[in-house]
Amino acid sequence: MSQPLHIDLVTDTYPPDINGVANTLHRLGRLLEKAGHEVGLILPDALAREVRREGLLTQQSQAFPMPLIFSSPLPGYPGLRLGMPARHALTRYWKTTRPDIVYVATESPLGASAIIAARRLGIPVASGFHTRFDHYMKDYRVPALQHLAGEYLKHLHNRTDATFAPSAELASELTAQGYHNVRVLGRGVDTFLFHPARRDPALRRSWGLCGDTLDETAALFVGRIAPEKNLDLLVSLFETMAAHEQRAGRRFSAVVVGDGPKLERLKASHPWIYFTGALRGEALAACYASADLFAFPSTTETFGNVIIEALASGLPPIAFDYAAAKLHIAHGTSGWKAPLSDPSALLALARQALTSPNRDAMRKAARASALPLSWDTVANRFVANLRDLIEAAAPTRQLVAS
C-alpha cells in the first residue's frame, strides 16, 4: 500500500469564498484527507481567520500553525484579497513542517513566493491553472497588459514541476504557448447535492412564475457579477428571451445568482431581473433545479464548474463551445453550444431553446451527462500525478539535502 502524502495547498481563495477555485480546492482537500493524506492550507491572514470561523479547515490543517501571511484587497474587486510575498515565513515553516509536495493554486505574490521557497528547499512544487487572468485584461479596460500578464503566468508556472489544467483542450493550448509539463486535472460534481429532485415550485413562484407549468420559463445565471463574465451579453440573452416569450404570451423570469463588483450597477439598471446574491449548498442547488435554461455567456473560463453543476441538476445550458461546455454538452441533446465569441449565434440559440419541444428529454440527458463526473476519480488522478512528481524530484531533493 502506498504511503500517505503530506500536501500543502497554497491559495488566496477558499470557502467561504464562493468561486470555482475555492470549491475545487475544498473538495479535493476533503477527499485527499478522507483517503489518509495530510493536507495543509497556506492562506492569507484574513482568509485564514474566516476559514477558521466557518469551521472549514481540513482536519490536518487545524493542527498546523500556519505562518502569518499578510494580504491586500484586489484592486477593482472588493471582497477578494491577494496574499503578499511570504518567502521567508514559508521557508522557516517548511523547514520544520516539511510537506512531500506543494500545490500552488493561485498566481499571486503569495503563490510566487511559495514556489521560490519550495524550490530552494528542494520540495516538489506543482501549480494549477485555474483562472485566465491574462484574458481578464480587456474586461478591466487594460488590454495592453494582456501580453505582459500572459508572460508572467507562463514564467511563474514554468518554475514549477508541472502545471495542472482542467481540460485536454486547455492543456494543449498552454503547451503550444510554451508552458512546460502541462497535465490534465479534470473537475467533478456532487450529483447528490445538484439533483433535479430539488426542483421547487414555491421558489419559482418567488421568481414571479405561477409554479411549474409548461407555458413559463425561468432562465438562470450563476457566477461572479464581474466584467469578465460578459455581463452585457448576459443581459442581451435575458432581454431576447423575455421579448420572445412576451410575444408568445408566456411568462418569463431571469434569475441571477452571485455577487461581485458589478452587482449593484446591474440591479439598478435592470430591476426586472431577480437577483438572489451569493448562494451555496442546498439553496444554490434548488435554484439550478428550479430553472429551465442556464444562460452562460462567459468566454474567459478555464473550465466552468457551473456548467456541470447545471447539467447534474437537469438544467440544459446555453453556452459557448469551449471548456466544460465543449467537453460535456451534447448540442441539441443536453444543451446548446455556439461558436466561441459569436454573440449572435448564442442569441439565436436562446430563441431556439425556448421553442424546444423536448424539454423533459433534455433535462434527463443533461443529468445523465453529469453522472460519470466523480470527484473521487479526480482526486485519485491528482494523487497519482503528485506521486509521479515526487518520484521525479527525488534526485534533486537528495542533492539539496546534502
Q: Write the pLDDT tens digit of every residue in 63-115.
A: 455 566 877 776 666 666 778 889 999 999 999 999 999 999 998 899 999 99
**DSSP per residue, 208-274:** TS-SS-TTEEEEEEES--SGGG-HHHHHHHHHHHHHHHHHTT-EEEEEEE---TTHHHHHHH-TTSE
Model pLDDT for residues 314-343, shown as the tens digit of each residue: 999 999 999 999 999 999 999 999 999 899
Number of H helices, E strands in the chain: 16, 14
pLDDT at 373: 95
Distance in angstroms (rounded) separating the CA atoms of residues 141 and 40 = 37
Q: Do both 28 and 71 map to the same domain?
A: yes
Pairing of strands 38-42, 101-104: unpaired
Query: How far apart (Å, rounded) are the C-alpha atoms in residues 365 and 315?
Result: 9
For residues 77 and 160, membership in a common domain is answered with yes
Pair 220, 295 in one domain: yes
Q: What is the mean pLDDT of residues 162-169?
A: 94
Note whether 161 and 95 are same-domain residues. Answer: yes
Higher per-residue pLDDT: 300 or 139: 300
Nearest CA-CA partner of 382 in 3, 7, 52: 7
Is the pLDDT confidence value at 381 over 90? yes
- Mean pLDDT (the chain) is 89
Query: Between 78 and 24, where is the model more confident?
Result: 24
The predicted pLDDT at position 222 comes to 98
Q: Are residues 202 and 132 in the same domain?
A: no
C-alpha dist (Å) from residue 144 to 137, 140, 173, 183, 229: 8, 11, 21, 29, 20
User: Are 296 and 388 in a shared domain?
Assistant: no
For residues 286 and 144, membership in a common domain is answered with no
Average pLDDT over residues 291-316: 96
- Higher-pLDDT residue of 26 and 147 is 26
Shared domain check, 393 and 302 = no
CA 373 to chain centre: 15
Mean pLDDT of the region 363-387: 96
pLDDT at 59: 59
Number of domains the chain contains: 2
What confidence tier does 359 reach under pLDDT thresholds 50, 70, 90? confident
Residue 68 is classified by DSSP as P
Based on the domain organization, do 231 and 264 belong to the same domain? yes
Average pLDDT over residues 306-319: 98
What is the H or E stretch that residue 155 is in?
A: helix 146-157
As to burial, measured by CB atoms within 10 angstroms (0-12 exposed, 13-18 middle, 19+ buried), residue 107 is buried
Is it the case that residue 295 has pLDDT exceeding 90?
yes
CA distances from 385 to 186, 327, 382 (A): 12, 22, 5
Are 224 and 114 within one domain? no
Q: Tens digit of pLDDT for each residue in 238-275?
A: 999 999 999 999 999 999 999 999 999 999 999 999 99
Order of strands, edge to edge, in the sheet holding 251-257?
A: 274-277, 251-257, 216-222, 293-296, 317-320, 336-338
Query: Is residue 64 located within the same domain as residue 174?
Result: yes
Residue 380 C-beta-side C-alpha neighbours within 13 Å: 5
Q: Please tell me the distance from the alpha carbon of residue 105 to that of residue 2, in angstroms, as a whole number.
A: 25
Out of 3-17, 269-283, 326-340, pick the least confident. 3-17
Domain that includes residue 388, residue range: 6-188+374-401
**163 and 229 assigned to the same domain:** no
116-138 pLDDT, tens digit per residue, is: 999 999 999 999 998 765 444 45
